[in-house]
Amino acid sequence: MTTHACLPSRNEDYGFFRTLTVCPERDRRSAEIWTLASRLIAETIRADSEDEMIGIRDFLDSRMGRHFADDVVGNMTGCNIELEPAIAAAIRRWQGWRIDRATERSDGIPAGLPYLTGWVQHFAVTAAMENAE
């Protein structure tokens, strides 16, 4: 697997980045938290292209990224665990869910894919289509 650099947020006022600026570990820099989450997601979905790294960035910058961050924060406060295990637990939960037929119809993500993988791929494809125009 080729390692690609984590891309910085393009939307620090929303999504994952914004949600984690109010997390219990505020003293850690948000950019470090962003990089950690990006790296762990990339490892989990076996991201091996720049397009997939763009998909991870755009996922984390989106409404879905905000929900993912809410899950991370919930793990930290509800389960009283540190940041990296909280992110890993959220990743496992999101990978355990599957894209359903309604999401397939509304967003074009194939039903049955792991939820996190499906959304990252959705954002990667969307970005590639926008760049092709």
Closest by alpha carbon to 116, among 103, 98, 102, 128?
98
96-133: pLDDT as tens digits: 999 999 999 999 999 999 999 999 999 999 999 888 87
Domain ranges of the chain: 15-132
With tokens 């074009």, the residue in question is 108
- Residue 44 pLDDT > 50, yes or no? yes
Residue ranges of alpha helices (H) inside 9-81 are: 15-20, 30-45, 50-61, 63-78
The pTM assigned to this predicted structure is: 0.89
| pLDDT value, residue 27 | 46
CA–CA dist 77, 60 (Å, integer): 20
Q: How many CA atoms lie within 13 A of 89 on its CB side?
A: 18
| pLDDT value, residue 31 | 80
- When pLDDT is cut at 50, 70 and 90, the band that residue 24 belongs to is low
Mean per-residue pLDDT, 15-29:
67
In the chain, the percentage of residues whose pLDDT exceeds 90 is 62
60-86: pLDDT as tens digits: 999 999 999 999 988 888 777 888 999
**Mean model confidence pLDDT for the chain:** 88
- Residue 2 pLDDT > 70, yes or no? no
